[in-house]
């Protein structure tokens, strides 16, 4: 038993020595990690899946921000079954500090709000380092339009932070290869005009230029009709949507209003009767975890492309 214990200590020391101090870019901050985090918390289903796909569940003390809005599918439930959900929606500073966390993976409007109680600055005095979701950086700084590279960058940076960079690079290269092969076999034509319907009846909540669905739509060969909406996610008017006359509507499925109910609302509203997507009943559904940055983005592109080019 003594030899086994000594061996475990030696392995632990070797792992510590193998990790070189690393600095990553997190929005407009450079964050340095002298050792890999050991008590991490992730917020939201897509960010948590990034942690899981890198095999980091044993470095986590829990997750937040899922059950308050979304349900977990079988794959996701299996991934987090050993971890507690520390907060159903956005966590408070007390929740994160109370869990003795040393790392928080979140984003702006993905667990943190500008000027809110939980930010990199408010957590720093408690020894909690924060890495921000790249797509969300548009809320606090100038940033280019959303792209698949945003998701890839997050995986690579998480790999550096936790000392699993090789695994992260293999994953990203695999995703790139898979997507390139799929697109290479895809027969496309004039890009269809696409509108993303997230939620809302009086006014629709949708994805603008800086939100991940724009990158997914473009990767699948389409164009987001709200490219001129220079925000990430936000509210527009139905008049703007009708004016753009989308040919396809992408419904984001989550929350209390189902995708079927959202579709029924659009199909039954006389104001939308002349919209190409409604006339031709061209709707496609993405789950929330597919429409936000994360490992399921590759499948999301395939789902969209099949809907765009099936005819």
Q: Could you give the CA distance from residue 189 to residue 166 in angstroms, rounded to a whole number?
A: 38
Instruction: Kindly state the greatest CA–CA separation across the chain.
Output: 77
**Confidence (pTM):** 0.91
Q: What is the pLDDT of residue 3?
A: 46
Q: What is the pLDDT of residue 51?
A: 96
Q: What is the pLDDT of residue 81?
A: 86
Q: Which of 261-290 are b and which e, b meaning 16 or more Cβ less than 10 Å from the residue's Cβ?
A: ebbeebeeeeebeebebbeeebbbbbbbbb
CA neighbor of 225 nearest in space, from 243, 201, 199: 243
pLDDT in tens, 174-187: 999 999 999 988 88
Print pLDDT tens along the chain (311 aa). Answer: 444 444 444 444 444 457 889 999 999 999 999 999 999 999 999 999 999 999 999 999 999 999 988 878 888 788 888 899 999 999 999 999 999 999 999 999 999 999 999 999 999 999 999 999 999 999 999 999 999 999 999 999 999 999 999 999 999 999 999 999 999 888 889 999 999 999 999 999 999 999 999 999 999 999 999 999 999 999 999 999 999 999 999 999 998 899 999 999 999 999 999 999 999 999 999 999 999 999 999 999 999 999 999 86
Q: State which fold the 17-178 domain adopts.
A: Rossmann fold (3.40.50)
Do 17-178 and 187-309 fold alike per CATH?
A: yes
- Say if CB 299 and CB 141 are below 8 A apart: no
Q: What is the pLDDT of residue 187?
A: 84
- In 72-207, which residue ranges form alpha helices assigned H by DSSP? 74-80, 93-98, 120-123, 148-162, 165-184
Q: Is 61 helix (H, G, I), strand (E, B) or coil?
A: strand
Q: Could you give the CA distance from residue 31 to residue 25 in angstroms, rounded to a whole number?
A: 6
Q: Could you give the CA distance from residue 204 to residue 229 in angstroms, rounded to a whole number?
A: 13
Q: What is the pLDDT of residue 13?
A: 46
CATH second-level architecture of 187-309?
Answer: 3-Layer(aba) Sandwich (3.40)
Q: What is the pLDDT of residue 258?
A: 94
The domains of the chain are located at 17-178, 187-309
Q: Could you give the CA distance from residue 50 to residue 53 in angstroms, rounded to a whole number?
A: 5
- Rounded to a whole number of angstroms, the CA Rg of the chain reads 21
Q: What is the pLDDT of residue 2?
A: 40
- In the chain, which residue ranges form alpha helices assigned H by DSSP? 2-18, 45-53, 74-80, 93-98, 120-123, 148-162, 165-184, 212-219, 238-244, 259-268, 276-279, 288-291, 297-309
pLDDT in tens, 37-87: 999 999 999 999 999 999 999 999 999 999 988 878 888 788 888 899 999
Query: Which two tokens mark 9?
Result: 């200590």
């Amino acid at each position: 038993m003594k030899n086994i214990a000594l061996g475990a200590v030696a392995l632990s020391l070797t792992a510590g020595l193998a990790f070189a101090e690393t600095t990553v870019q997190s929005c407009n901050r450079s964050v340095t990690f002298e050792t890999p985090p050991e008590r991490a918390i992730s917020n939201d289903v897509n960010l948590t899946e990034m942690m899981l796909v890198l095999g980091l569940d044993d470095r986590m003390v829990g997750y937040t921000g899922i059950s308050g809005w979304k349900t977990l599918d079988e794959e996701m439930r299996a991934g987090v079954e050993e971890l507690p959900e520390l907060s159903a929606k956005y966590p408070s500073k007390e929740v994160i500090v109370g869990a003795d966390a040393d790392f928080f993976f979140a984003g702006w409007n993905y667990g943190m709000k500008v000027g809110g109680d939980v930010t990199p600055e408010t957590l720093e005095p408690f020894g909690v380092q924060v890495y921000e979701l790249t797509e969300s950086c548009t809320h606090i700084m100038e940033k280019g339009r959303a792209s698949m590279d945003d998701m890839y960058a997050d995986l690579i940076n998480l790999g550096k932070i936790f000392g699993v960079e090789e695994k992260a690079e293999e994953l990203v290269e695999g995703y790139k290869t898979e997507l390139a092969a799929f697109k290479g076999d895809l027969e496309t034509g004039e890009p269809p005009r696409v509108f993303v319907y997230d939620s809302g009846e009086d006014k629709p909540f949708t994805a603008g230029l800086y939100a991940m669905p724009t990158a997914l739509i473009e990767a699948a060969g389409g164009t987001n009709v709200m490219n001129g909406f220079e925000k990430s996610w936000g509210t527009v008017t139905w008049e703007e949507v009708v004016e753009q006359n989308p040919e396809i509507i992408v419904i984001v499925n989550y929350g209390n209003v189902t995708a079927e109910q959202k579709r029924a609302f659009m199909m039954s509203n006389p104001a939308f009767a002349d919209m190409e997507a409604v006339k031709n009943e061209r709707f496609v559904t993405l789950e929330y975890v597919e429409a936000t940055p994360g490992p399921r983005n590759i499948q999301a592109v395939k789902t969209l492309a099949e809907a765009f080019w099936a005819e």
